[in-house]
Amino acid sequence: MADKSKSSESTNRSGGDGLEAAGTHELALLRNGLRAAETLAVASSTFDSEIPDAQSEYADGISPGLSWTSVEGAKTYALILEDPDAKSVVPFVHWVAYNIPAQITELPEGLLDEEQLLKPARMFQGRTSRGTVGYFGPRPPEGDPPHHYHFQVFALDRVLNVPPGAQRDDVIDAMSGHVLAAGELVGTYQRAAAR
């Protein structure tokens, strides 16, 4: 698994820490062109509502297992994980995965941090607000109230013409007008203040 920086997601951008602007303060599901008439259900085999420490950047930063309902007519699926409670980049982008083949409606726990994956199927991953590729787990500042992590899944009527390692906004632009259905799972994570 790729090395991940362990600095807080609330680090100031002016510090030269590699943070990338999310481009808009709206969650992907709320963006024009991405709203869908149909809803799909999203679930996790790893958590119900509170995200475990193992999935956080305070621990191993392992991507959770996720699944969603199949959507008739979908050619691909896309996944965007965002934290609207972050302070420096709103929303903070924690994961972008796209061109997930239509026959795949489940991602196992612990995906590799690579631009292009071959297992469970050929799919692409984009950049987080840290500038890294793949899943970047929760790391809110110690003592913050719980942050809400929106695992948003989109069923698309096309394969996206976006290269591996793309920014969230490039993926969103390519998705615009092509969303058949969408849904989300919201998990929370909080790190108690050190005593």
What's the CATH number where 145 sits?
Answer: 3.90.280.10
pTM, to two decimals: 0.88
The boundaries of the domain holding residue 30 are 19-189
Residue with token string 């787990």: 137
- Number of Cβ within 10 Å of residue 106's Cβ equals 12
9 inside domain: no
pLDDT tens sequence for the chain (195 residues):
334 443 444 333 223 333 344 445 789 999 988 988 899 999 999 999 999 999 999 999 999 999 999 999 999 999 999 999 998 889 999 999 999 999 999 999 999 999 999 988 899 999 999 999 999 999 999 999 999 999 999 999 999 999 999 999 999 999 999 999 999 999 999 998 877
The answer to whether position 14 is within a domain reads no
Q: 3-class DSSP state for residue 56? A: coil
End-to-end CA distance of the chain: 32
- Secondary structure element (H or E) that encloses residue 24, with its range: none
- Locus of tokens 């994961």: 95
Domain assignment present for residue 2? The answer is: no
